[in-house]
């Protein structure tokens, strides 16, 4: 995290103790202990997760009618309230875990020989499936963030990417080795074109990218509604608002369906990991990344050094849009290859903002937080209706709230201030 978009750098290693010589020699355990009690960015992230799950537990208890009723006679029989709360929280979080990572019932039947190994992988496959678009939209927001831009437009860019991939996907009839890459590229291009618009507007007129990209989200979403109704896109077999399906040759191959047909995770996940690695390389090794970071940190110094600020904004936003567009292609050619609807995009673009924030605009962090959010999503969907599906959104929101306010985490847990101060993400211009 040494080069994250942050006001202060987090210490990469545990800091040396303040005094030397007089005191006992610093050993690993002492240093580790200091690290744990310090409000550095790694520990703030971990504590934010813990606190979010604690708050989620309280809300689960409050929102459950039976458990709430046990509190009405709390002073008469406190153990009722305690056991009810404990069981509720344990069951809910277990259900989330089973939906996202490993189902214990399936495990038992697998051990008894009643289920295949593939069944065991189903929760993981769902988690990865939901995480895939989030990796792309997280990168779309995170990359722009590094140039000092707040790309709220990932949702619209993703929708455009979906449409671009879809059109190439059903109009052309080519062998898969050519058709699939073309459809994916079309998705990236469509997203990139839409992403470039706020960049051009900012460079040419100074229009704030947040405002223009929010508006473009609406434009893109409504454009999709209109486009799905046109004869060009509309399904020939269904009457509701669904697009034509893409050709077989443009469908992203699934990775694990040979084990079990219900395992949906597909090649887009691998492309997402590759995109994250590419973004890391771009930011830390390329001259373009050098320029993005310089402009993001201090556009005045960058301009004085001869960098062109306007074109940096435009190209960065186009690249960011292309990432979101690839996420759209992953949907249109993947889970929604039978035809996209107005619902296919869900809120992947908006969640990309929180993914990027949680990942502190670092490619590795973005992948990790996309996986976490994918797990929450998969877990909540599989655990409903026993667990309210909103718990996933609530946990996401609470995590981000704590990440964005490290001083709050520090105050709640009485952590020490790390050398160099607290790390707070800052979007410029707000």
Partner 1 sequence: MRLELKGLTKRFGSFTADDDIDLVVEPGQIHAILGENGAGKSTLMNMLYGILQPTSGEILIDGEPVSFSGPGDAIAAGIGMVHQHFKLVGPFSVADNVQLGREHTRGAGVLSARAARQAVLDVSEQYGLRLDPDAICEDLPVGVQQRVEIVKALSGPETQLLILDEPTAVLTPAEIAELLQIMRNLAEAGTSILFISHKLKEVQAVADRVTVIRRGKVVAQLEPTASESEMASAMVGRAVSLRVDKTPAEPGEPRLEVKDLTVVSDAGVKVLDGLELTVRSGEIVGLAGVEGNGQTELARAILGLVKPDSGSIAVDGRDVHGRGPAKRIADGLGYIPEDRGRDGLVSEFSVAENLVLNQYRDEPFAKGGVVDAGAVRRRAVDSIAEFDIRTQSPEESASALSGGNQQKVIIAREFSRPRRFLVAAQPTRGVDVGASQFIHSRLVAERDTGTGILLISSELDEIYALADRIAVIYNGRIVGEVDPDTPREVIGRLMVGGSADAGPGPATDPDHPANDEHANGGDR
| Min CB(303)–partner 1 separation in Å | 6
Q: Within 305-334, which residues bind partner 1 (CB under 8 A)?
A: 305-308
Stretch near partner 1 under the rule CB under 8 A, chosen from 79-87, 258-266, 283-291, 377-385:
283-291
Q: Return the CA Rg of the chain.
A: 24
Q: Which of 402, 323, 415, 332 is nearest to 370 (CA)?
A: 323
| Min CB(346)–partner 1 separation in Å | 35
Residue 416's DSSP bridge partners are: 38
DSSP 389: T
| Min CB(162)–partner 1 separation in Å | 31
Binding residues for partner 1, total number by CB under 8 A: 24
Out of 27, 79, 175, 300, which residue is the one contacting partner 1 (CB under 8 A)?
300
User: Using the rule CB under 8 A, is 285 a contact of partner 1?
Assistant: yes
DSSP 21: S
By CB neighbour count within 10 A (0-12 exposed, 13-18 middle, 19+ buried), where does 53 fall?
Answer: middle
User: Using the rule CB under 8 A, is 347 a contact of partner 1?
Assistant: no
Tell me whether residue 79 or residue 304 sits nearer to partner 1 (CB atom): 304
Cis peptide before 14 (omega within 30 of 0): no
User: Using the rule CB under 8 A, is 91 a contact of partner 1?
Assistant: no
Instruction: Find out whether 323 and 275 touch, Cβ atoms under 8 Å.
Output: yes
Tell me whether residue 273 or residue 288 sits nearer to partner 1 (CB atom): 288
User: Using the rule CB under 8 A, is 293 a contact of partner 1?
Assistant: yes
Residue 266's DSSP bridge partners are: 254
Tell me whether residue 265 or residue 282 sits nearer to partner 1 (CB atom): 282
Q: Within 165-224, which residues bind partner 1 (CB under 8 A)?
A: none
User: Using the rule CB under 8 A, is 301 a contact of partner 1?
Assistant: yes
What are the Cα distances from residue 301, in Å, to 283, 293, 304, 351? 18, 11, 5, 33
Tell me whether residue 175 or residue 306 sits nearer to partner 1 (CB atom): 306
| Min CB(288)–partner 1 separation in Å | 7
Tell me whether residue 208 or residue 419 sits nearer to partner 1 (CB atom): 419
Q: Which of 353, 368, 189, 178 is nearest to 272 (CA)?
A: 368
Task: Enumerate the H helices of 153-246 as residue ranges.
Answer: 154-171, 176-205, 209-229
Q: Is the dihedral of CA 364, 367, 373, 379 positive or negative?
A: negative
Out of 122, 146, 179, 291, which residue is the one contacting partner 1 (CB under 8 A)?
291
Out of 121, 154, 246, 302, which residue is the one contacting partner 1 (CB under 8 A)?
302
Stretch near partner 1 under the rule CB under 8 A, chosen from 16-24, 107-115, 208-216, 388-396:
16-24
Stretch near partner 1 under the rule CB under 8 A, chosen from 110-118, 123-131, 295-303, 393-401:
295-303
| Min CB(313)–partner 1 separation in Å | 16
| Min CB(281)–partner 1 separation in Å | 9
**Tokens representing residue 53 in the block:** 């799950």
What is the Cα–Cα distance from 244 to 227, expressed in whole angstroms? 12
User: Using the rule CB under 8 A, is 143 a contact of partner 1?
Assistant: no
| Min CB(129)–partner 1 separation in Å | 34
Out of 19, 79, 239, 343, which residue is the one contacting partner 1 (CB under 8 A)?
19
213 φ/ψ angles, rounded to the nearest 5 degrees: -75, -30
What is the Cα–Cα distance from 134 to 378, expressed in whole angstroms? 13
User: Using the rule CB under 8 A, is 62 a contact of partner 1?
Assistant: no
Q: Which of 317, 365, 328, 3 is nearest to 137 (CA)?
A: 328
Q: Which of 366, 368, 367 is nearest to 356 (CA)?
A: 366
Stretch near partner 1 under the rule CB under 8 A, chosen from 180-188, 267-275, 301-309, 369-377:
301-309
Tell me whether residue 203 or residue 376 sits nearer to partner 1 (CB atom): 203
Out of 271, 294, 322, 423, which residue is the one contacting partner 1 (CB under 8 A)?
294
Coil, strand or helix at 77: coil
User: Using the rule CB under 8 A, is 9 a contact of partner 1?
Assistant: yes
Tell me whether residue 24 or residue 112 sits nearer to partner 1 (CB atom): 24
What DSSP line would sit under 337-364, residue for residue? TT---TTTTTTHHHHHHHHHHHTTT-HH
Task: Summarize as ranges the residues that interact with partner 1 (CB under 8 A).
Answer: 9, 18-20, 285-291, 293-294, 297-298, 300-308
């Amino acid at each position: 995290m040494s080069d994250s978009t942050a006001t202060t750098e987090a210490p990469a290693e545990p800091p040396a103790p303040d005094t030397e010589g007089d005191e006992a020699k610093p050993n690993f355990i002492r240093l580790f202990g200091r690290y744990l009690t310090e409000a550095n960015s790694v520990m703030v992230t971990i504590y934010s997760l813990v606190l979010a799950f604690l708050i989620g537990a309280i809300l689960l208890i409050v929102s459950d009618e039976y458990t709430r009723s046990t509190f009405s006679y709390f002073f008469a029989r406190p153990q009722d309230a305690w056991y009810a709360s404990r069981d509720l929280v344990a069951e809910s979080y277990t259900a989330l875990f089973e939906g996202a990572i490993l189902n214990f019932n399936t495990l038992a039947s697998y051990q008894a020989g009643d289920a295949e190994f593939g069944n065991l992988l189903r929760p993981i496959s769902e988690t990865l499936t939901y995480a895939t678009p989030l990796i792309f939209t997280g990168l779309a927001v995170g990359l722009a963030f590094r140039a000092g831009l707040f790309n709220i437009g990932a949702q619209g860019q993703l929708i455009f990417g979906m449409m671009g991939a879809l059109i190439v996907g059903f109009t052309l009839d080519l062998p898969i080795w050519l058709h699939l890459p073309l459809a994916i590229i079309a998705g990236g291009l469509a997203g990139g074109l839409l992403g470039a618009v706020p960049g051009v507007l900012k460079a040419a007129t100074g229009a704030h990218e947040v405002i223009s990209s929010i508006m473009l989200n609406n434009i893109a979403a409504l454009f999709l509604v209109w486009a799905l109704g046109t004869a060009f896109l509309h399904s020939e077999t269904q009457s509701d608002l669904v697009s034509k399906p893409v050709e077989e040759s443009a469908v992203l191959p699934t990775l694990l369906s040979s084990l079990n047909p219900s395992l949906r995770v597909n090649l887009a996940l691998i492309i997402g990991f590759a995109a994250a690695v590419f973004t890391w390389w771009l930011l830390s090794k390329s001259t373009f990344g050098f320029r993005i970071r310089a402009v993001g940190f201090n556009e005045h110094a960058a301009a004085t050094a001869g960098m062109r600020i306007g074109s940096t904004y435009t190209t960065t936003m186009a690249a960011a849009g292309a990432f979101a567009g690839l996420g759209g292609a992953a949907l249109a050619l993947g889970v929604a290859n039978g035809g996209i609807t107005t619902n296919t995009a869900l809120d992947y673009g908006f969640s990309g903002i929180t993914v990027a924030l949680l990942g502190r605009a670092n490619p590795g962090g973005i992948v990790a937080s996309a996986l976490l959010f994918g797990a929450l999503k998969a877990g909540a969907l599989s655990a409903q209706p026993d667990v309210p599906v909103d718990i996933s959104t609530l946990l996401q929101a609470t995590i981000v709230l704590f990440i964005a306010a490290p001083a709050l985490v520090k105050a709640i847990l009485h952590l020490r201030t790390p050398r160099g101060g607290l790390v707070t993400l800052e979007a410029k211009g707000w």
